Amino acid sequence: MSEDLNFSGKIALITGASRGIGAAVSKAYARAGAHVILMARDVKKLEEVDDEIKSEGGTATLMPADLMDLDSLDKLGPLIKERFGSLDILIGNAGLLGTLMPLPQISTTEFDRVMMVNVAANFRLIKTLDPLLRASKNGRAIFVSTGAGVVKGRAYWGTYSVSKAALESMVRVYAMEVAQTNLRVNLIDPGAVRTDMRASAVPGENPETLPAPEEIAKIFLDLGAENCTKNGQTLQA
């Protein structure tokens, strides 16, 4: 393992850790020595990821949570401080696709749900975890966006497109505000990856033609590394 990618002693929180990219990144960080806090709604799936991590000699803590329960997220910073004493890395991976359809046909309930998970929940995470990330010697916050074409606006991609544009703007604002600290904040565009969300978005696509989530995990390690100087950027996996 490269010394730059040795995360021994680091605490990393990953949202959407029960499957897909979140699970792959969680296992990659644990393999590199970090203690990973696995956050998602599906307890059974979290336990499966935890079992895999432990089978490889890694360590993890399960933190079942619903990102739509925004008020509960406000308690996360004090909870992590009390339990672990610190937090070095936040990976905001969880997201909702919503239904791909003309914008006027999207229900207000679905619009609110997607914006809540993709934008509001990440704002609450930034707000509650900022003190811990700033206190870390090399704090890192990494958020998962999507293709530039979708962020700029894509017909029928409705709330997902709107939410990722808002996420990118919010993360860049945060990156500018912490530029003079040791905290580095960036985004990742994972591209087309073999995930359930991708299958829902493009059902006619052959998933075997796409990279598996494990194949793009390294870029998350690169942005979490102590020698990372990038800030406010969107990197393509």
Nearest to 205, CA basis, from 214, 213, 216, 194: 194
Active site residue 160: yes
C-alpha to C-alpha distance for 21 and 86, rounded to whole angstroms: 24
Backbone phi and psi for residue 71, each to the nearest 5 degrees, phi listed first: -65, -35
Q: Which of 29, 156, 160, 174 is catalytic?
A: 160
* CA dist., res. 221 & res. 28, Å (int): 8
Helices 43-55, 20-31: crossing angle, 10 deg rounding: 30
Q: Could you give the 3-state DSSP secondary structure of residue 34? A: coil
Burial zone of 82 (CB within 10 Å; 0-12 exposed, 13-18 middle, 19+ buried): exposed
- Angle between helix 20-31 and helix 217-224 axes, rounded to 10 deg: 50
Structure tokens at 2: 């490269």
3-state secondary structure of 52: helix
Active site residues: 160
